[in-house]
């Protein structure tokens, strides 16, 4: 019988985990919410790199590794592909399609934090929706800027940055109000491809403000790529 190790951390992974029986394991890093109502087994915390993951796969008799981590969780995806190779089991991945800019969008791709800060220079009131990384840079905010930073963690800001602790899904009307209230003149986003965080892009379009999009990381080749939860579930049942 197949024994699946599902690497999660996003809503789609949880949806897949809910379909798995007790023989399978759902694995989380432990940075977000941990569900307590699953039928499958749950494991929380890292493995100590690809070697540690490979050892876990051997110890647990795992026969399929399913990487359903966030598209920017590149380290874990690399570890997964490497561990599957080391143990000789297949690695499948749920790879969300990226968002595409449409008519009226002004998206500017940036490769890293350095490029992002350069691209941000002409703006005054950015909204950061990148997660935790900007928290390390709160002391570097230029004099002419006031940042609004949305992240999962509730941490104090400073006199040049307000931090909003919130987790998606975000509704269009709420997003409109947020941009209006804070006078946002540029949005900073990953290209997560998630429906639950997409409304902010529509608001940027409506307000004709640019979006600085952090480039997606390169992800390793896997044995099978699937684009949606439905495709994964179908592939697992065949």
Q: Please report whether residue 171 would count as binding ligand NAP according to CB under 6 A.
A: no
Min dist. Cβ of residue 152 to ligand NAP (A): 8
Q: Please report whether residue 7 would count as binding ligand NAP according to CB under 6 A.
A: yes
Q: Which residues contact 168 (CB under 8 A, 6 or more apart)?
A: 194, 196, 197
Reading phi first (left if > 0) and then psi (alpha if -120 to 50, else beta), residue 128 is in: beta
CA gap 17, 38 in Å, rounded: 7
CB 91 within 8 A of CB 31: no
Q: Please report whether residue 28 would count as binding ligand NAP according to CB under 6 A.
A: yes
Tell me which of 20, 25, 57, 70 binds ligand NAP, using CB under 6 A: 70
Of 4-12, 15-23, 89-97, 179-187, the segment contacting ligand NAP by CB under 6 A is: 4-12
Phi and psi (nearest 5°) for 116? -65, -45
Q: Please report whether residue 8 would count as binding ligand NAP according to CB under 6 A.
A: yes
Of 24-32, 112-120, 156-164, 180-188, the segment contacting ligand NAP by CB under 6 A is: 24-32
Of 17-25, 72-80, 92-100, 219-227, the segment contacting ligand NAP by CB under 6 A is: 72-80
Of 40-48, 114-122, 175-183, 224-232, the segment contacting ligand NAP by CB under 6 A is: 40-48
Residue with tokens 């690497």: 7
Tell me which of 5, 10, 209, 212 binds ligand NAP, using CB under 6 A: 10
SS (H, E, C) 129-150: ECCCHHHHHHHHCCCCCCEEEE
Whole-Å CA distances, 57 to 21, 25, 69, 88, 110 = 18, 11, 17, 10, 36
* Closest CB to ligand NAP among residues 53, 93: 53
Q: What single DSSP character describes residue 223?
A: S
Q: Please report whether residue 46 would count as binding ligand NAP according to CB under 6 A.
A: yes
CB 149 within 8 A of CB 164: yes
* Closest CB to ligand NAP among residues 111, 121: 111
Min dist. Cβ of residue 9 to ligand NAP (A): 2
Q: Cα 88 from chain centroid? A: 28
Residues that bind ligand NAP (CB under 6 A): 7-10, 27-29, 31, 46-49, 52-53, 69-70, 72-76, 79, 131, 190
């Amino acid at each position: 019988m197949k024994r699946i190790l599902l690497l999660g951390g996003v809503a789609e992974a949880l949806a897949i985990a809910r379909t798995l029986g007790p023989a399978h394991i759902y694995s989380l890093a432990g940075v977000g919410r941990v569900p307590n109502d699953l039928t499958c087994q749950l494991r929380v915390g890292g493995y100590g790199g690809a070697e540690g993951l490979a050892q876990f796969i051997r110890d647990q008799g795992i026969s399929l590794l399913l990487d359903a981590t966030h598209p920017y969780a590149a380290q874990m995806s690399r570890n997964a592909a490497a561990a599957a190779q080391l143990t000789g089991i297949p690695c499948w991945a749920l790879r969300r399609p990226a968002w595409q800019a449409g008519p009226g969008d002004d998206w500017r791709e940036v490769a890293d934090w350095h490029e992002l800060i350069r691209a941000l220079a002409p703006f005054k009131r950015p909204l950061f929706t990148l997660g935790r990384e900007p928290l390390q840079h709160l002391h570097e905010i230029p004099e002419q800027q006031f940042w609004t930073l949305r992240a999962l963690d509730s941490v104090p800001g400073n006199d040049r940055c307000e931090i909003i602790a919130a987790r998606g899904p975000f509704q269009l009307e709420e997003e409109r109000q947020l941009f209006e209230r804070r006078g946002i003149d540029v949005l900073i986003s990953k290209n997560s491809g998630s429906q639950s965080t997409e409304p902010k892009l529509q608001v940027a379009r409506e307000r004709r403000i640019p979006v600085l999009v952090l480039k997606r990381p390169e992800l390793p080749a896997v044995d099978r790529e699937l684009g949606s939860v439905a495709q994964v579930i179908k592939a697992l049942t065949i």
